[in-house]
Structure formats: structure tokens, C-alpha cells
Structure 1
């Protein structure tokens, strides 16, 4: 937001330096970005007096002018048709550089020497007018700097405005903050509107289809105006805040926008059919041409201004080409309205059509100030364009402004801010901000907030006002008191707590967290042979490489692998906790989200070779992580694994199941896919359904047993088994016997004799009694029974 220093001083009598003002407002939350001179490029232009003006002896279209520059008189050859004797003109002396970079030098034109240049407004970068030189007012001092004689603004402050401070998108808003910061009086512009004849309410009918979209729409009518150039004071003031002058009627609307923060729009009343204004949504697919000449395709979510037959403006964003003011326009319909911020924002963003008006409407405008802004604009239009302002206002306000009352507890405020201030300080702050304070109950005040402070919504917002006016930089830094509460236990049960636990597990087992975009390219999914059905396209993608929501975590993890390999990192252990997205017509958002945990391993098993053997990670490393997650972290029942045929991008692929429920899959990425991501070794990837894990965790009841008091007794047994007999089958058979003294079974060794088709599996069996120390006789009896049943039930021998 550009703030003209002189313009600001018309509202508040601030006599300090610009830097002082910027520093103080920065501490109030309005950060000063820079201080600029908008007319720096013409600071060397001087006022010249044309003493003589004669035709060039060798050129009919050139004139030789003798120009008095105060301290010297020079000859200047000029090609402008309107130059004449006695004029005051802007002159660029020899050595001066113009805004377009042209440096003025001594020249000889058709044999006549020229010592400078008489300038037009266009050459000075002040307008597009280049039909002739700029003839200055007669009361200027010859030889003086042009910027000084015209009293042009030399100091403009550029502030960064946070989105919640819509009230500071105007000179008035900054004047309020300046008055608050330095305890100065605030003076509003004088309103002296003269009305004549008729009644605008009888001439123009205003209809609003939905009060939620437009709480207020009102208009004034001006007759017999003359569209033309704005006076210099208005043009240069607009120029100083970055606004290029267009014409008197439009310039007034822009002037009010920057001065009071209320966007306005001027329609050519003669082009408004049936003298009717209707605020209503667009029709899906309809097309409308805006002031910039571009045809826009609209949606039913866009809000339009209609006349009796057609749309004439895109509400709050830009007017229509079919109703704009033209050079021969004589009657004006001046619009002043309030629109729903969200509607304006969506339209402006979707159409990529930002404007100064939409920037303010989408943040909220002051509904109470609306009438004052409209009347001041009508007054200025009548002053700069002639004509008369018709009496009365055409108005429709289906949703009048309702004052907001907030509670305020001073003790609570001081506790949160860590301050000890008198109540009088807080009351003064609220009063200077335009609030009405009822402090009849000293412990619980009632504060009515002003209509321009839309950001004051809750009691804590009032606390913030007290703190920022006191000076957040003045509050002493203190460590807060930290108390442990039961909220931590509650948080652990939420999804946030669950995800946090997953991430802690990943870091704890030595994995690095990867965070990828939720959107990928369709080619990424095609490369992994993932189906097109169920993909969720992005309406407005950042690029074609990111045009769909991810339906699998693998593309992101493989791109992470590719990036790390490109940076020379060949030992990669990453995990990602994120969501995948699938189209679902039954969902409110048309999309189903599923929380997943992805794990990717690549390269050497150990980060450092010595003293470890140089081995690459394999299936067992990946399986170990998955088992550790399920068994140690979630304490779920034992998981089982089974091969999956024809997986999209893994070969081999293993399905992971818990309690007969699939909770994910894992395996090796296919070679052709791994090659694309520059992998020269096996890439191992697991994808776990975190949502299913959470449900299983919540369903699973953990039981605690007393720690054993008596020592165990262990026996080893080696079984000669066929090659196709799984060790798991042996373990399951032993567990099915349900021997009362058997505590656990572990596979401890495998041996395959050379040249034989059988293998030896050694198991360690642990026996223990809960209430006594076992004797060898008891253990031997149980152990013999176990071995005999194994030989009987399975094709094994001892």
C-alpha cells in the first residue's frame, strides 16, 4: 500500500519525519517496506518562459524558441505544434536524463543549435498525452524546479499490509493508525454536496437477488457531466500512489478508493437499459466482456451486475465494456456497494483478474462508511466534470450493518500479555480506535467495535490491540510457565497424535522423513502402471507435471530417490506419512482420502562400510521394518505374508495381513521402473495402510501378564525336513498342541547337507512353570510328547 505523506497530513497534523512515522507504524503491525520519491525521474526539470518563438528557417514543422530559464536564456528547437510566445513550459536542460532514459545533449537541428528540450506530459512520464508540449499555469516561478512549483508529492511510504487489516487499504486507514500512534486528532474530508432536481430513487430501481451476496447496493445519478481531463492536483496525487490517470469521472472513483478505501464504479446511465440495476449470479457457461476487452467465461458462482436486460459489470472485480463511460457520455450512475468477500475472491482468482477494487472487496469494506464515500465522490465529480447531482439516493440494503459487541476482561488481558497496565490505558486505546466502551462492570466490559475494524471478532482481538498499541517490542521476554496436563493423553488418541507417533517411529528406526507434494503428473502414475480410473484431476495445476492428485505414495518416494541419487547420496532410508486420493462420487468432496505410510530403502545396508560387511539392503531389511512397526510399535497380533501376482510396479510383491485383514504391501520395484529413476541397485518399497493400522490398534486390547518369577528350561531339537516344508508350518503345529509348560518356539539354525534334497531345521523350545521351578523329568516328558507328535503329524524325522 502506497501512502502519500502530504495526503496523509490532510487527515492528521503529523509534523515528524517519514522514517519516524514508518518505524512507529511498523511496531503497530503495518510494516514499512520502503520510502520512495514518485517524481524522482523529473526532479531536474525546470520551469521555462518562452520569450520568442519563430519558424525554423529550414523546416516548416519546427520552431526556434528563445527560453528564459531564470539564470540563463537559451535557444531550443521544438517540433510541437502548440508552442508559442509567452508560455510557461517544462524544460529539460542539457545533461538532464528523462524518465525513458534519454539524456539531453547539445544538438544542431537543420543548422540551428538547440540547448535543451521543451517537454510534453508523455515525455515526462505523467500521461499518454503527446499531441503537444505541456503548457504550465501562469503563476509558476521561472527557473524553479517543476516538482516544487507544482507541489508534487516527494515522499511516499510503501507498507506491507496483512490480510486481516482491510481498514488500512486507504489513506484514511493509515490516518486512523497515525492518530492512534501519536495521539493526534483525525479530520475527515469536508462534505459539501449540492443536489438539484428529481429523485434518484424514482429514476433508478435496484434489485438484489441474494442479500448474503450483496448486503448493500446504492447509487447516485449525475446529469450533464463533461468527460475530460482531471485537474492537475488530482492527476498527480493519483500518480504518486501508483495509479495512472484516465479521465475525470474514472479518476474520481480511483481517488475515493485510495482515500477512503471504498471501491466505486461509474456507469454510463444512458447505456443502462430500463433504468434498472439487478445484483444476481451469472449463468453457467455465459460469456461477458470486461473493460479490458477480454471475453470471460463465467460460472454460477460469479456475481454480476445486470441492467434490465443484460449483464453490465462483474461485481466487485471489473466493469463491462458495454456500459463504460465514453468521451461523449453525459449522465452517470455512480455505484457504491458491499459484496460478500469470498465470492469476489473466488471470481478474481479463477479469472486471474486482480484489481484494486477486488483486492479491497475480498478483504471486506466498511458498510457504514459507504454512503459518505459515495457522496464525496459525487461532490468531486460535479466539481471536476461539471453537471449536477440529482437529489436522493437509489438504495437497497437488505442486510443492514449490525454493531458487534465484544466482552473484555482487563485482568485476563494483562495475564496473557504479561503486563500490568491501568484500565484507563485500555479504555483510551479502544476509544481512539473508534470503539464504544461500557465499563459499568469493571471486571467485564462491553466494547462495541467500529464498522471499519472487521478484524475485531473475538475478545482476544481486543487483547491484541492493547498489546500492539503499548508496543509488543516493549514487552519483556519471559519464559512461560509450562504445566503438564491430561491433554497430551487426549492428543495421542487423535489423528494428529497417531501421525505424530508414526513419525517418531520412523525417526527412531533410522529413517529420514520425506515430504512430497500431494499432486503428481499423470505420466508418473502411468509409468507405475497405475489405473486411470479413480484419478482426481486438478482444475488449475501449477504445471502439467503436477496435474493430478496422487493415487499412490510411490511416485513421490521414487522422485525423492532420484533427487538424492542426483546429489550423490547412495544410502537412502526414507519414509513418508501422507494421504493418497481416489475419486469417490459418494463423498462430499468427490474424493476419498486414505492415510498411508511409505518406506523406501536403497543402497548399502550400513551407512559406513567399516567395520560392517559391504552388503546391500534386501527384502529382509524391509520386512524387518514392517514387522517392527506392527509388533513392537502397535503391539498387534502376529502378521503374515503372502506373495501377490502381477502387481503394478513391484516384483516380487508381498501382501501384509494382520487378523486376516490386508494392511499393506511391500517388495522390489520393477527393474525398468527403477532404471528411469537412475537406480543401479534394487529399490525396496513398502506401502502400509496407516488408517487400517489405527483401526486395528483401537480394536486390539493389550493384556499384561506378571513377569515370570521362576527360571526357564530350554531344549533344542533338530528336524530333518523336506525342502518344501516351511518352518512356519512346524511352529504352527507345535503351537496347536497347546502344551501347558511350553512358553515359546524359535528357529535358531538351518543346515542343508551337500547333495541332499532335505534340510535340517533346529528349533529352541522354552519351558516354564508360573508357580514353581521345573524338574528335568517334567520337561523331558513334555518335550518327548512334542517330538513324537511332530514326527506323527509332519513328514519329518529326528
Structure 2
């Protein structure tokens, strides 16, 4: 919004200059983006009087003028044909830069010194006349700057108006804000309509078929107008806002739009068929040619202004080519209406058509200002173009727009703003903004905002109005007193995070798969029919069959991810997921949501060609990472069972095991069954581990805490056994660990052998036992005695022999 200081002073008395007003406007929420002095160049253009005119000795078309500038006489070479002695003319002194960008300096023209330039209206951009120099009235004081002589010492503000402040898109709207800032009052334009024509009802009619899109439509009629140019003062004011002057009728509609903020439209009444107005919605696909000559295809939600036979304007946006004002127009129908903001905003966006009218309508104009704007336009048209105004107005307003009644509590506003304002201060501010304020009690008021402020609907809006007029800089800076505390750490989530870091350190990548899957994927795991995992929770409205049920296992998602990687050339895959599975519960509406930890590995053991070989991963790779998981949970009491019946059907019984911790089954690991591998279209062997995180979490041991480094050395003894080939090597290992020998610190497997000279049903296993005492050095005799005792118990328990 461009605000002219000279125009603004017509409506309000300012107690500060425009630069100070710009600062205050910004502080009340109307940001001033620029302060401009459009006629600053006129300060060095003065009123001069031609005292003599002489012929140029070397140019027939040039003259040498002697011009008095109020202080001295200057010689000016001029080629204008209308110069004459005694004229008062605009003289551009050296140092002036004209609007065209041309600098004026003392120069020599055809051998004669020229000490300035005599200017035409067009050269000063103060008119269109370029035929000669501008002859000023004889009473114009000599030596006065042209800006002062023509009262053009104007300052303009470029104000950014927020979408909720449509009331400020006018000079009167800005005057209201300025008056509230300066503590003065607004001088509204004096409207005096002289109605001398017949009753308007006998000449025209208005029908509103869509009162939702058009709650109010008013019209005035003026006859006998003469189309011509607008006076200079109106042209100048329109141009100050960036609007080009067209003719006296159209200029009045634009002038009232800028003055009062109410968009208007002027129809050539004689070109309205059946002499009536109908407001209706367009028919989808309907065509209409707008004022800019473009044929537009309308939508079924586009609001139209029609005559008795067809559309003549797109409501609130642009008029039609067939009803525009022309030089032959003698009768004008003035439209002034209130359109629903949402309707105009939607149509403007769909049609890709933005105008000054739509810009205001879509932000909301004053429904109670419709008649005032129509009267103001009729008054100005009569003054500028003659004619007679028909008696009365057409005003269709079936359901007046209500004004809210808002309760204001002084204590609530002070608490909201962090201030300590009195009720009197708040009431003064609100009344300065034209709000009706009635007292309920000493601390409570009922406020009715004016009709031009549709953005004020709540108590908090009133608080904002109080704050911005009192001054945001008066709001004290305070700091919220918020006690800082943290929620206790969720051990379940913390443990999940620790295991994820363990797996990432082992070279695995975490993936997140969909919680939805397909029944086909679950059945591809070779599960038996009565398995609870084949009874998933079904979605009522699935996106597709591939995501029709809640997952009961993480394995299908990881196998599909592995296949996706293999298909794209990533042949070395190590992935895991620690997420929920959803297992249905008999008689329960909601499933059980347990966390499982599943990993899949495919490809080479070490994919780095520099350091690795081509050895593929096998069972020991997944067993190793499972041992890392158990170590992170401080679970030493684990056993791997090779019982084929206990292995899940998607595991290959030749390369797999189940895992028990403290006697409780917690998962399985091994190679994916060939049938499952084929079902998921995996081109390479895949190994997996699947752990019940909930069970592991329940069985986890606390951190053992700090153990000081041993002060005394250890003694190592090996035990090489020959046992039955079918005996799990973990059984003797667990048995040795369970023996109550205080000197035994640890035991591990160091060798596994099959072949000659052992029989086919035998194998050799080597166990390494570490002995240590915390308070002394052990002697060979002590260690030998303990080791012989341990060896004897192992041989007896497992019918083994020493190698």
C-alpha cells in the first residue's frame, strides 16, 4: 500500500513528520518497507521569470533567454517555440537530475553558455505536454522551488499490509491508524449526494441468487454524464498509488477504492440488457471475455455479475469487455458490493487473475461501508462529469453480517501481555480504534469491534490491539520460570539402543521395514497351519494385498530387503531390524506387540577385496554376532541346541540351532531353508538369527561393575577329550563351568578334530582352563590337583577318554 503524506493529511492531523510516522507504523504491526520522496528532484527546479529573449547567433531554431531565478540572472539556451519575455517558467538549475536520468550542468551550446534548462511538463513528469516549455501562472512566486510552488513536497510510505488487515488498504484506513498513533481524530470525507433524477427502482433492479457468495449488493445510477479527462489533482493522486488515469468515471471508482478501501465497478447502463443486474454462480465451462480482452473459461464456483441475458463481470475481480465505459457513455450504474472473501480468493487463484479489487475483497472489505462508497462515487462523478443522480439506492442485504461481542478481562490481558495496564488505558486504546466498549464491571468490558475489523474476534485479538498501540517496546522482557527435569531413562529403550550399536559395530546396517505385510510372505516361511504367526491381524482398508495384514515376523521384510539389494548388484548384505511384531491374542481385540531382533547376512565374510577373501558367510558368522548380543546383556548362561524338531521351519536343519538362555528358549539361528530361499527369490545362500528381545530383556543380568586387574599370574591347563561325535561340544563346556572350583577362572574351546586315527563316530575336543588365585601365586601342585579332579569328573560324566 502506497501512502501519500499529502493525501493522508486530508483525513488526519499528524503530530509528527512522515519519517517518524513510518517508524511508529512499523511498531504497531504495519511494516513500512520504504520512505520515498518522489518529487525530491523538484527542489532544484525553481520558478524563473524570462526577462529577455534573443536569437541565437549560430542556430535559427535556438534562442538565448535571460532568466531571473530570484537571486541572479542566468543565460539559458532554449529551443522551445513558445518562449516569450515576461513568462514564469520552471528552471532546472545545474546539479538537477531529471526523472529521465539526464543531469543538468552548465554547458556550451553552439558557442553560447547555458546555465540551466527550461522544462516542459513531460520532462518533469508532471503532465503529458511536450510541445514547449511549461508556462506557469503569473502569480507564481519567483525563486520558489517548483515542489513548494505546486505543493508537491510529498513523502510516500510503502507499507506492507498483512493479510488480516484488509482495513488498512485505503487512505482512510491508514488515517485511522495514524490518528490512533497521534492521539487525534479522523476526518472522514464529507459526502453530499444531490439526487435530482427519477427513482432508481423505476430504471433498474438487482437480484442476488447466491447470498452466500454475495451477502450485499448495492447500486447507484447517474445519468447525463460527459466522459472526459480527470482533473490534475485526481490524476496525480492515482499515479502516486501506481494507477494510470483512464477517464473521469473509471478514475472515480479507482479513487474511492484507494480512499475508502471499497472496490467499485462502473457499468455503461445502456449496454446492460434488460436494465437489470443478476448475481449468480457460473456454469462449469462457461466462457467470458474480461476487460483485458482475454476469453476465460469459468468454473462452477465462480461468482458472476450478469445483466438480463448473460455475464458482464467476474464478481470482485474484473469487469467485462461488453459493458465497459466508453467515450459515448451517458448513463453509469455504480456497483458497490460485499463478496465472500473465500469465494473471491478461490476464483482469483483458479483463473490466475489478480486485481486491486480482488486483492481487497479476498482480505475482507467493510460490509457496512458499501453504501458510503457508492454515495461517494456518485458525488464525485457528478462533480467531475455532470449529470443527475437517480433518487435512492438499490441495496440487497438479506442477512446483515453480525459483529461479535467480545468479553475483555483486564487481569487476563495483563497476564497475557506481562504488563500492568489499567482498565482506563485499555479502554482508551480500543476506543481510539473505533471499537464500542461497554463496562460490565470494574475489571470486565464488553467490546464490539467495528465492521471494518473482521480480524478481531477473540479476547486475545483485543490484547494484541492494546499491546501494539501501547507499544511492543513497552512489553517487559521476562523469562519463563520452568523447572528443568528429565524423565527417567526407559531401560527397555536404552537396551534396544545398546544392542543396535553392538550390531552396527559388527558391520550390520539397521533397516526399517513396513509393519504391514502379505499373508503370502508369511506362508512362504513354511509355518504350520496352527502356528499363531499364520493368524495375523487383518487391516480393514489395506492399501494393497502386499500390505494387508500386520506382520507377525520380521524375517519376511528382511528377506525382501536382501533380495532388493541382490537384484541391484549389492551382493554383500548385513542387515538387522529391532522392531515390533503383532501377535493375535485369543479373545482380545488388540494384538500383543513384542519386540524381536532379526538379522540377515548374505555374501562374503569380508567384502573388502584388499583384506578379505572370497570365503562366504556361514553359521559361525551369525553365531558370532549372537554371542556379541548376549555379551552385551551379560548373559553367560546360554546353550545352542541342535535339535531339529525345535528349529523353526524356515531354518535349514543341517545348519542351524536354537538358543536357550537360563533354560528358556529365546530364538534360533542358522541358514535359511532352501525352500524359503527360493520363495523369496534369493540368488545366494542367506543366514539369519532371530531373537525374542522381550525374553532377553527379562533375562538380562546387571552390569558386573568394575573388577580390578589381577595381581597374580594365571596358570593354563588343557584338556583334550575324545567323545562321541554326536555330543555337543557345549555340554562339557557348560559342565566344567558349573563345577564348584574356586581356583577355576575361565574355560574355553581351543580345538575341534575329526579324522584319523579317531573312529568315524568320534571327535576330539580341546578345552583350555585358566586357574588363578586372587591372593597368592599358585603352585604346580595346587593346579595339578584341581585339574586332575576336574578331568576325572568330565571323563566320568561323558564317558570320554583323553587323547
TM-score (norm 1): 0.65
- Aligned partner of 2:639 in structure 1 is 715
Q: 1:52 to 1:255 in 2, by over 3 A?
A: farther
Write the distance in 1 (CA, Å) between the matches of 2:133 and 2:314: 39
Write the distance in 1 (CA, Å) between the matches of 2:338 and 2:418: 39
- Aligned partner of 1:658 in structure 2 is 551
- Aligned partner of 2:248 in structure 1 is 248
- Residue aligned with 2:349, SS: helix
Structure 2 residue aligned with 1:743, among 658, 662, 665? 665
Assess if the C-alpha contact under 8 Å between 1:268 and 1:331 holds in 2: yes
Assess if the C-alpha contact under 8 Å between 2:41 and 2:96 holds in 1: no
- Aligned partner of 1:595 in structure 2 is none
- Aligned partner of 2:431 in structure 1 is 431
- Aligned partner of 1:46 in structure 2 is 46
State the shift of 1:456 in Å: 0.6
- Aligned partner of 2:607 in structure 1 is none
Assess if the C-alpha contact under 8 Å between 2:403 and 2:448 holds in 1: yes
- Aligned partner of 2:743 in structure 1 is none
Write the distance in 2 (CA, Å) between the matches of 1:177 and 1:699: 60
- Aligned partner of 2:783 in structure 1 is none
Write the distance in 2 (CA, Å) between the matches of 1:110 and 1:172: 54
Q: 1:88 to 1:320 in 2, by over 3 A?
A: farther
Assess if the C-alpha contact under 8 Å between 2:305 and 2:315 holds in 1: yes
Write the distance in 2 (CA, Å) between the matches of 1:139 and 1:187: 31
State the shift of 1:213 in Å: 0.8
- Aligned partner of 1:700 in structure 2 is 591
State the shift of 1:40 in Å: 3.0
- Aligned partner of 1:178 in structure 2 is 178
Do structure 1's residue 625 and structure 2's residue 520 form an aligned pair?
Answer: no
Assess if the C-alpha contact under 8 Å between 1:206 and 1:276 holds in 2: yes
- Aligned partner of 1:277 in structure 2 is 277
The 5-angstrom pairing of residues 539-558 of structure 1 reads none
Aligned residues: 615
TM-score (norm 2): 0.64
Listed one character per residue, the Cα deviations across residues 129-172 of structure 1 (whole Å, up to 9, x for unaligned) are: 55665444444223432221110142112222111111111121
Do structure 1's residue 385 and structure 2's residue 405 form an aligned pair?
Answer: no
- Aligned partner of 2:346 in structure 1 is 346
Q: 1:468 to 1:374 in 2, by over 3 A?
A: same
The 5-angstrom pairing of residues 639-650 of structure 1 reads none
Write the distance in 1 (CA, Å) between the matches of 2:415 and 2:99: 56
Write the distance in 2 (CA, Å) between the matches of 1:97 and 1:260: 36
- Aligned partner of 2:450 in structure 1 is 450
- Residue aligned with 2:512, SS: helix
- Residue aligned with 1:207, SS: strand
Write the distance in 1 (CA, Å) between the matches of 2:399 and 2:690: 82
Assess if the C-alpha contact under 8 Å between 2:119 and 2:134 holds in 1: yes
Bigger CA radius of gyration: 2
Write the distance in 1 (CA, Å) between the matches of 2:432 and 2:696: 83
- Aligned partner of 1:221 in structure 2 is 221
Listed one character per residue, the Cα deviations across residues 472-508 of structure 1 (whole Å, up to 9, x for unaligned) are: 22222223354899xx9xxxxxxxxxxxx9xx99x98
Listed one character per residue, the Cα deviations across residues 73-108 of structure 1 (whole Å, up to 9, x for unaligned) are: 54544456x777765444445553321223346788
Assess if the C-alpha contact under 8 Å between 2:208 and 2:396 holds in 1: yes
Listed one character per residue, the Cα deviations across residues 504-523 of structure 1 (whole Å, up to 9, x for unaligned) are: 99x98999xxxxxxxxxxxx
State the shift of 1:47 in Å: 3.2
Write the distance in 1 (CA, Å) between the matches of 2:499 and 2:172: 58
Write the distance in 2 (CA, Å) between the matches of 1:734 and 1:684: 21
- Aligned partner of 1:72 in structure 2 is 73
- Aligned partner of 1:19 in structure 2 is 19
State the shift of 1:452 in Å: 0.9
Q: 1:352 to 1:703 in 2, by over 3 A?
A: closer
Write the distance in 2 (CA, Å) between the matches of 1:270 and 1:695: 79
Assess if the C-alpha contact under 8 Å between 2:641 and 2:657 holds in 1: no
State the shift of 1:453 in Å: 0.8
The 5-angstrom pairing of residues 672-687 of structure 1 reads none
- Residue aligned with 1:35, SS: strand
State the shift of 1:37 in Å: 0.6
- Aligned partner of 2:475 in structure 1 is 475
- Aligned partner of 1:394 in structure 2 is 394
Write the distance in 2 (CA, Å) between the matches of 1:46 and 1:221: 46
- Aligned partner of 1:403 in structure 2 is 403
Listed one character per residue, the Cα deviations across residues 319-351 of structure 1 (whole Å, up to 9, x for unaligned) are: 222222223323222221111111211222233
State the shift of 1:659 in Å: 2.5
- Residue aligned with 2:312, SS: strand
Q: 1:85 to 1:394 in 2, by over 3 A?
A: farther
Q: 1:733 to 1:155 in 2, by over 3 A?
A: same
Write the distance in 2 (CA, Å) between the matches of 1:365 and 1:695: 60
Assess if the C-alpha contact under 8 Å between 1:669 and 1:684 holds in 2: no
The 5-angstrom pairing of residues 465-544 of structure 1 reads 465-482=465-482
State the shift of 1:292 in Å: 2.4
Assess if the C-alpha contact under 8 Å between 2:658 and 2:669 holds in 1: no
Listed one character per residue, the Cα deviations across residues 609-653 of structure 1 (whole Å, up to 9, x for unaligned) are: xxx89xxx7xx51xx3337x97xxx9xxxx97979xxxxxxxxx9
- Residue aligned with 1:7, SS: helix
Q: 1:67 to 1:173 in 2, by over 3 A?
A: farther
State the shift of 1:731 in Å: 10
Write the distance in 1 (CA, Å) between the matches of 2:13 and 2:215: 35
Q: 1:134 to 1:430 in 2, by over 3 A?
A: same
Q: 1:457 to 1:688 in 2, by over 3 A?
A: farther
- Aligned partner of 1:323 in structure 2 is 323
- Residue aligned with 2:157, SS: strand
Q: 1:422 to 1:46 in 2, by over 3 A?
A: same
- Aligned partner of 2:741 in structure 1 is none
Assess if the C-alpha contact under 8 Å between 2:12 and 2:184 holds in 1: yes
Write the distance in 2 (CA, Å) between the matches of 1:764 and 1:63: 104
- Residue aligned with 2:219, SS: strand
- Residue aligned with 1:439, SS: strand
Assess if the C-alpha contact under 8 Å between 1:228 and 1:247 holds in 2: yes
Listed one character per residue, the Cα deviations across residues 438-485 of structure 1 (whole Å, up to 9, x for unaligned) are: 223445432211101111112221122222222222222223354899
Write the distance in 2 (CA, Å) between the matches of 1:5 and 1:76: 37
Give RMSD over aligned pairs: 5.4
Write the distance in 2 (CA, Å) between the matches of 1:269 and 1:683: 80
Q: 1:655 to 1:209 in 2, by over 3 A?
A: closer
Q: Any gaps of 5 or more consecutive residues in structure 1?
A: 489-500, 512-572, 574-604, 607-611, 644-652, 675-679, 705-710, 751-757, 771-775, 781-796
Assess if the C-alpha contact under 8 Å between 2:267 and 2:334 holds in 1: yes
State the shift of 1:272 in Å: 2.1
Listed one character per residue, the Cα deviations across residues 12-37 of structure 1 (whole Å, up to 9, x for unaligned) are: 22121223222222221112222111
Assess if the C-alpha contact under 8 Å between 2:512 and 2:577 holds in 1: no
- Aligned partner of 2:677 in structure 1 is none
Assess if the C-alpha contact under 8 Å between 1:5 and 1:153 holds in 2: no
